[in-house]
Each structure stands twice: as C-alpha cells, then as structure tokens.
Amino acid sequence: MSLSRCSFWVDEQAPVGPDQKAYVKHLAAIFRFIAKKVMKKWSMTQNLTFREQLEGGIRYFDLRVSSKPGEPGHEIYFIHGLFGHKVRDGLIDINSFLNLHKKEVVFLDFNHHYAMSKEHHHYLIKMLKDVFGHKLCKIDVVEDITLNYLWENKYQVSI
C-alpha cells in the first residue's frame, strides 16, 4: 500500500498556516510574495489530485487539517505550510472513486489538527459521516479488522 500526503494544491493568497513556526510566519509577512512562492515549492508534496492518486494505487492518506484563523464558521482545510482545498471537497472526491470501486478500501490518517476548536472537531466528524455514511468502518479494535471483514460489511473507509 502506498502513502500520500494531501498537498497537491496550496493557496498562495491565503495566510501562512498555523502549522508553521513563528519565524516562518514572520519571514512570510516581510517577504510576502517571494516567501509564499518558496513555501509553495516545499509545501506541495504531490502534484496529483485525490482521484489521480487513487487511480495510481494510493490507499493511505496522511491528512493534516486546519481551520483558517479569523474565518467565521467551522470550515476545515488541508494544510501543509499553506492552506489547500476544503476537506469536504477532498472527501467527496474520494467517495466518488469508492462509489465506482466497491472492493476498494482507503485509510485516512488525520494525524495533525491545527487551530481547531471542539466545534471544528465535531464538524469534521459530522462531515466524515455525511460524506461516507455506511462506508465508514465502525469497529475500533484494529486486530479485528481484516479485508474480508471490511468487504463483508461493505466498509471502504477506515479513519
């Protein structure tokens, strides 16, 4: 199984993400456009969309997410130095692929959360349930999860 980070697009117009050190934010504030162009080069670890990665065999995604500080609401974005796409858009792309490939299983590893309140976390959980519904694996004992178990229960997403 291959691993992917979900940073195939970043927004150079958005502020530097809360995942960055204070000195990086300071340099980006001073050298705005140049700093963000440099950051874009090392922030983008991918040049393939979710769909393209899935078609290429990727099934494990290392996802880093954040709210945009100061933005109203509970929207969540992918982040890697700079902000990327909305999380919901990426999840919908993954779900579209899974709808066409009933035996495929993906693993979504949300391992870094930045600038997220309790409400943001609730929003993310609701979003995952709304987008994937019955495809979400509901068991939490890792030792009990096998590919046959996932197929028998029509689970296609493990968080």
Read off the pLDDT of residues 58-115 as tens digits, 9 standing for 90 and up. 999 999 999 988 888 999 999 877 778 899 999 999 999 999 999 999 999 998 998 8
Helices 32-43 and 22-30 cross at an angle (nearest 10°) of 130
Instruction: Indicate the domain borders of the chain.
Output: 2-158
Residue 1 — pLDDT band, cuts 50, 70, 90?
very low
Q: What are the residues facing 80 on neighbouring strands?
A: 82
**What distance separates the 2 farthest-apart alpha carbons in the chain?**
56
pLDDT at 119 over 50: yes
Residues 128-144: what's their mean pLDDT? 91
